[in-house]
């Protein structure tokens, strides 16, 4: 079982990959004036303190966003992502980290909308506090994002970015993730879908990308960032990956320019690497 209460891991290398790509997806959608929805099936608390509480216990952010914070050779493509995190902090010190909903909020426009699902009672309460006063543009639901995503598809503006980012605390999460993505893509085939998954030595994690690639979709991209060599005992997360349906045609070139730098900066040993595959007609 993977225990992935996100407050423990905020700002780690997996977040860097996920949120950098999320920024790229949002900026691409912003190129057209037509409104869209941002839908998050597992929104979490929305924001995390790094200098206290859970995140300070293991300080995983030090191996993630901490290595980008003042990097003199930061690639230009990572600039907007780091700027969003910087704007979330007061002053030059890195003390807080925005979750996916807060990163999306920073980039969404007045005409766009957010739909956030979160079932965990504590995280839902914190999410509500973090989005207090957000108005009608943000709708929070204390519901299971897996089973309730379909109620929003297809969305009224016929444009949407869906982030599927479960904790994978149960083996069933892998099956739910695949089935949710498959069903959502069939219901709303023109939407953009981004699925995050952890790299583990367990079969469900290793098999998930291959299952995604066997789906009958016209346009997809798979990128992964491995930060360390597998341990002899088989425990621990090695890295993470993203599978995207209907990615921007510009994304492969951006990743090819950035991923080698992330491997060098975030890798912890000689096992660090990245993989990139895509089919974009």
**Catalytic residues, which ones?**
165
280 dihedral zone (left: phi>0; alpha: psi -120 to 50; beta):
beta
Peptide bond into 154 cis (omega under 30): yes
Query: 142 with 124: CB under 8 angstroms?
Result: yes
C-alpha dihedral, 211 to 104 to 97 to 81, nearest 10°: 80
d(CA 119, CA 44): 9
d(CA 96, CA 88): 7
Q: Give kind and range of the element (H or E) at residue 163.
A: strand 160-164
C-alpha dist (Å) from residue 83 to 7, 36, 43, 79, 247: 21, 23, 21, 6, 23
Residue with tokens 């016209």: 218
Instruction: Tell me, rounded to whole angstroms, the distance of Cα 4 from its chain centroid.
Output: 14
d(CA 138, CA 37): 10
Count of CB atoms situated within 10 Å of the CB of 142 = 14
C-alpha dist (Å) from residue 14 to 109, 132, 178, 196, 203: 26, 27, 20, 9, 19
Taking alpha carbons only, the member of 149, 174, 188, 121 closest to residue 41 is 149
């Amino acid at each position: 079982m993977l225990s992935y209460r996100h407050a423990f891991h905020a700002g780690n290398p997996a977040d860097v990959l996920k949120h950098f790509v999320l920024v790229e997806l949002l900026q691409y959608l912003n190129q057209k004036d037509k409104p869209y929805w941002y839908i998050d099936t597992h929104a979490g608390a929305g924001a995390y303190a790094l200098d206290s509480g859970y995140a300070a216990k293991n300080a995983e952010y030090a191996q993630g966003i901490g290595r980008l914070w003042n990097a003199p050779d930061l690639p230009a493509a990572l600039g907007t992502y780091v700027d969003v995190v910087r704007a979330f902090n007061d002053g030059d010190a890195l003390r807080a980290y925005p979750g996916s909903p807060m990163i999306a909020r920073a980039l969404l426009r007045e005409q766009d909308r957010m739909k956030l699902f979160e079932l965990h009672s504590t995280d839902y309460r914190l999410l509500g506090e973090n989005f207090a006063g957000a108005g009608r543009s943000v709708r929070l639901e204390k519901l299971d994002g897996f089973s309730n995503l379909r109620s929003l598809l297809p969305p009224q503006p016929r444009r949407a970015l869906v982030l599927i980012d479960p904790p994978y605390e149960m083996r069933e999460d892998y099956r739910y993730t695949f089935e949710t993505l498959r069903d959502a893509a069939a219901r709303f085939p023109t939407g953009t879908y981004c699925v995050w998954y952890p790299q583990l030595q367990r079969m469900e994690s290793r098999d998930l990308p291959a299952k995604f690639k066997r789906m009958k979709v016209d346009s997809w991209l798979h990128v992964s960032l491995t930060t360390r060599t597998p341990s002899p005992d088989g425990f621990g997360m090695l890295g993470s990956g993203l599978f995207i349906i209907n990615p921007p045609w510009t994304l492969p070139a951006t990743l090819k320019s950035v991923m080698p730098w992330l491997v060098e900066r975030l890798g912890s040993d000689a096992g660090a690497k990245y993989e990139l595959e895509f089919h974009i007609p």
